[in-house]
Amino acid sequence: MSADPGGAFRLEEVYEPVAAASARIRHRLGALLTESNVAAHVSQDALLVVEELVANVIDHARTPFRLVVQRAGTTLRIQVRDRDRTPARISALDPLAVRGRGLRLVAGIADDWGCDHGEDGKTVWAVMAT
């Protein structure tokens, strides 16, 4: 996949819920963001958002998932769709917990985020300005 001259692109791929998916996604998306001339700090934030959303699928949903990352104009939209109907929610903050801060990070980095529910699963999404 490559970006058009204006930097717009759409990446859509399906992955199995395995840890190796994160590295493949990071490599592929990182190259695409660079090719699309997305600022380095925005690229790093976008990669962190994707990693957190993917980690949630791997750790909790444990189903195949569809990643969609789309840039149009100055907006980057990230979506991860899995087959688990359990709502995505920000957990209560436990300062002693080793994990459980992923969606809190997503909410802090992204301009907006949410979870859309369907009969066959959910889509967790985040939107960022580029």
Say how many C-beta atoms besides its own lie within 10 A of residue 122's C-beta. Answer: 20
Looking at residue 125, its amino acid is: W
Q: Render pLDDT for 71-102 as a digit per residue (tens, 0 to 9).
A: 999 999 999 999 999 888 887 776 766 666 78
Say how many C-beta atoms besides its own lie within 10 A of residue 125's C-beta. Answer: 21
Single pTM value for the model: 0.90
Q: Which residues contact 85 (CB under 8 A, 6 or more apart)?
A: 117, 119, 120, 121, 122
Domains annotated on the chain, with CATH = 9-129 (3.30.565.10)
Contact between 48 and 2 (Cβ < 8 Å) = no
In this prediction, residue 91 carries a pLDDT of 73
